[in-house]
Structure 1
């Protein structure tokens, strides 16, 4: 994929010029994104967001916005900047596949050791959040189920609700919490919240 328009302000976060973006296209992201963030977005989070997007009708897809939180690394100084990117598909071919997207990136006050992805549907009078997930790099040692438990926990769900949502027993949830604490070398819920702080 190529960039058609890039603001001259791109150099503030990246140390790269407009010409760099236009010449290298999406390949430039490997040079300017935090490596762990790039991997998490490319191989896990964005595909999950795209899957949610593809569940929508073509008309609803045209009113969908992606919100991504990640870190950029300035090529000249090495300075790390947390950013938020808002993007949406702006043009489609005859089969309804996107051919053009627009996006804007701002510095984010949300500094985290990981990435966050949100998919929102916007209509004339409201926004509906269809997908919202944070992937914290510290949790990479956990299993898929353990990560799902942590995601539910940070959304203030009780252990009973987590068990019901994941269709597992409350005893299994308790066992998973013990395993999570052991893997992360922590002792209590407050410690877990410290690991996944946003």
Structure 2
């Protein structure tokens, strides 16, 4: 007999949480090992129950799902993360996958599609629901990974990713610190990345910086 896929659910909307849980429990090959309303509670429960897949919402109080991805990847590296969201923005999708999520599913998909996503991710693959795939395809059709950034912004991104401070970047490029701050702000906005660590990961992922 095939071992059931252990799934933990994290969503701050009780109706969504219970709705998904009740449906998933009708599948013999899926075992719901927990349902939590916050990322912190979900992480604590996961340490005890060791789920194969965590199905997690993005917009939650205290800690959003994207920030939680890093904690899960660090503390529970074997657990696969499947993001569940009502948002199909490229910013959310790209950042989630860059941080380590194995899939991204929109909340309006059918239950059978959520089950398919869980199966694919548990098996070590990736899964993106139809609307999400279209957004990602649009991203791949860009003229280049950094087509969003100007040449100067790419230079700033590279130096920031190397750990340089604003003062160091300003000196290196012979521009003012205020100008560096403006470039950093624009880079984060264009890429949908809010942290320096995220910018570093982006630079590595897109071949700007050696891993």
The TM-score normalised by the length of structure 2 is 0.32
The TM-score normalised by the length of structure 1 is 0.33
Higher strand share: 1
Higher helix share: 2
